[in-house]
C-alpha cells in the first residue's frame, strides 16, 4: 500500500505552531514508511497571497499529485483554505482513501458560534474515510454534531526531542509555564511563584513571575527543570476562560506534550479534556482554580511527587517514539 501524508504550512510562521505537524510527518515517514507531500503558502488575504493561491491551484497542487500512486492519504487538518482542500480532493483517484488528522477544529474555536461554518466543517469531515480526533471528548462532540465517518482517538500529541528527562530525587514545589505570552493574560494575576518561557512577554508581571526567555521548540525541553508544567488559558485564575480557555474542554494542548516529553508532571484545569489522560496515567494533578495551587503542591508528599515524575518519564518515552500517532494511524488503515 502506498501511504501519503499531506501537510500545508504557513511559510510566514516561525513559532512553535508547526512542530506538531512536523513531528507527525517525521514519525509517519520513519515508522510507517509514509511519503510526504508538503505545500507552503501565506495564509492571509493579501493580494500577493491570493495570486500565490491561484498558482497553487492551477499548477503546484496538480503537479505534486499527478504522478503520485496513492492508496491512502492522511491530511493534516485544517488546511485553512476550503478551496485548496476541495482542489486536493478533486485530484485524487476514486479508489484513494482519505483520512484527516485533526489539529484544530475551528467550529470549536474561532467560529464556535457560527452555525453555517459548523455545517460546512461537519460536511467536509464526513467526506473523509476516517478521522483522527484528539480525545474522547472531542469525538463525542463530533458525533453529536453529525459526523458519521469512522473516528479514532489520538489521546495525546507526540513530541519529538533529543532531550533526556533529568532524574529527580527531590520535590522542589516549583512551577513553569511555556507558551505565547501575548495571550497568557492570567499571568498578570498573583497566584504562585512561576517561571515562564516564550515570546511576547508583557512589560510588567507580579513579583511571583520570573521570565526565563524564549527558546526553539526542540531546544526548550532541556531548560525545563521545574517540578510541574502548568496548562492554563484565559485572563482569570478561578477558571480557564475566553476562546482558548473554552477550547481546552475539547482539544489536546501541545504544551502538555512538551512538558511530559521533558519528564515533567503537569498541573491542568479540571474541566480540560486532557485532565482525563492526566488522571488515568497519573502524570500530574488537576485543579479547579489556580488559588488551589499552594495547598495542592504543599500537601503533595515527595513520595507521591516522585511517582508522578516516574509516570511522566514513562509517557515521555512513548511521546518521543511517536507511539500515539502510529497507533491511531494503524488503527484506521488496518481496520478498514
3-state secondary structure of 332: helix
Handedness of CA 62, 65, 71, 77 (dihedral sign): negative
Q: How confident is the model over 7-27, as a mean pLDDT?
A: 80
Number of H helices, E strands in the chain: 12, 12
Answer yes or no: is pLDDT of 16 > 50.
no
Fold of 3-158+323-334: Rossmann fold (3.40.50)
DSSP state for residue 183 in the 8-state scheme:
G
Residue 336's pLDDT is 60
Answer yes or no: is pLDDT of 14 > 60.
no
Containing 108, the helix (H) or strand (E) segment is: none
* Residue 305 CA from chain centroid, whole number: 26
| C-alpha cell belonging to residue 34 | 509514509
pTM: 0.94
Mean pLDDT of the chain: 93
The three-point CA angle 165-169-171 to 5° equals: 95
Please, which pLDDT band fits residue 169 given cuts at 50, 70 and 90? confident
- How many beta carbons lie within 10 A of that of residue 283, not counting itself? 27
* Residue 148 CA from chain centroid, whole number: 24
Parts of the chain belonging to CATH 3.40.50.2000:
3-158+323-334, 175-319
Q: How confident is the model over 89-96, as a mean pLDDT?
A: 94
Q: How would you list the strands of the sheet with 228-231, edge to edge?
A: 209-211, 194-197, 175-178, 228-231, 266-269, 284-287
* Residue 217 CA from chain centroid, whole number: 13
In this structure, are residues 228 and 175 in contact, taking their beta carbons and an 8 Å threshold? yes
Containing 14, the helix (H) or strand (E) segment is: none
Q: How confident is the model over 164-172, as a mean pLDDT?
A: 80
What is the domain class of 175-319 according to CATH? alpha beta
Give the separation between CA 226 and CA 175, rounded to whole angstroms: 6
Q: How confident is the model over 36-49, as a mean pLDDT?
A: 77
The b-or-e profile of 52-63 (16+ CB within 10 A means b, else e) is bbeebbeeebee
* pLDDT, tens only, 119-154: 999 999 999 999 999 999 999 999 999 999 999 999
Does 40 or 281 have the greater pLDDT score? 281
Q: Which of 188, 257, 191 is nearest to 220 (CA)?
A: 257
Q: How confident is the model over 209-221, as a mean pLDDT?
A: 92
Residue 235's pLDDT is 96
Q: Which of 268, 243, 265, 274 is nearest to 315 (CA)?
A: 265
Residue 41's pLDDT is 75
Please report the DSSP string for 303-314 in residue order.
Answer: HHHHHHHHHHHH
* pLDDT, tens only, 234-283: 999 999 999 999 999 999 999 999 999 999 999 999 999 999 999 999 99
Residue 13's pLDDT is 59
Least confident window among 34-48, 97-111, 193-207, 237-251: 34-48
Q: Which of 161, 158, 134, 133 is nearest to 147 (CA)?
A: 133
* pLDDT, tens only, 279-334: 999 999 999 999 999 999 999 999 999 999 999 999 999 999 999 999 999 999 98
Answer yes or no: is pLDDT of 164 > 90.
no
Amino acid at each position: 500500500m502506498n501511504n501519503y501524508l499531506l501537510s500545508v504550512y504557513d511559510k510566514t510562521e516561525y513559532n512553535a505552531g508547526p512542530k506538531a505537524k512536523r513531528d507527525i510527518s517525521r514519525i509517519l515517514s520513519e515508522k510507517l514508511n509514509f511519503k510526504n507531500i508538503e505545500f507552503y503558502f501565506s495564509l492571509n488575504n493579501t493580494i500577493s497571497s491570493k495570486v500565490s493561491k491561484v498558482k497553487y491551484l492551477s499548477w503546484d497542487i496538480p503537479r505534486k499529485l499527478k504522478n503520485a500512486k496513492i492508496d491512502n492519504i492522511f491530511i493534516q487538518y485544517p488546511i485553512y483554505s476550503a478551496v485548496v482542500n476541495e482542489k486536493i480532493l478533486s485530484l485524487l483517484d476514486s479508489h484513494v482513501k482519505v483520512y484527516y488528522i485533526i489539529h484544530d477544529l475551528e467550529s470549536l474555536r474561532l467560529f464556535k458560534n457560527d452555525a453555517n461554518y459548523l455545517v460546512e466543517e461537519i460536511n467536509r469531515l464526513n467526506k473523509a474515510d476516517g478521522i483522527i480526533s484528539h480525545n474522547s471528548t472531542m469525538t463525542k462532540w463530533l458525533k453529536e454534531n453529525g459526523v458519521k465517518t469512522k473516528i479514532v482517538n489520538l489521546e495525546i500529541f507526540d513530541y519529538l526531542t533529543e532531550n533526556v528527562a533529568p532524574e529527580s530525587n527531590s520535590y522542589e514545589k516549583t512551577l513553569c509555564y511555556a507558551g505565547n505570552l501575548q495571550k497568557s493574560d492570567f499571568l498578570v494575576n498573583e497566584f504562585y511563584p512561576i517561571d515562564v518561557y516564550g515570546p511576547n512577554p508583557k512589560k510588567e508581571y507580579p513579583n511571583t513571575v520570573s521570565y526565563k526567555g524564549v527558546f526553539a521548540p526542540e531546544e526548550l525541553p532541556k531548560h525545563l527543570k521545574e517540578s510541574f508544567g502548568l496548562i492554563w488559558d484565559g485572563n482569570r485564575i478561578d477558571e480557564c476562560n475566553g476562546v482558548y480557555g473554552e477550547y481546552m474542554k475539547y482539544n489536546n494542548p501541545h504544551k502538555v506534550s512538551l512538558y511530559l516529553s521533558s519528564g515533567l508532571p503537569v498541573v491542568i484545569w479540571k474541566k480540560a479534556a486532557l485532565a482525563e489522560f492526566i488522571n488515568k496515567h497519573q502524570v500530574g494533578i488537576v485543579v479547579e482554580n489556580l488559588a488551589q495551587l499552594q495547598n495542592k503542591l504543599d500537601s503533595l508528599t515527595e513520595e507521591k511527587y516522585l511517582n508522578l515524575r516516574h509516570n511522566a518519564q514513562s509517557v515521555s518515552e512513548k511521546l518521543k517514539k511517536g507511539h500515539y500517532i502510529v497507533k491511531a494511524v494503524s488503527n484506521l488503515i488496518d481496520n478498514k
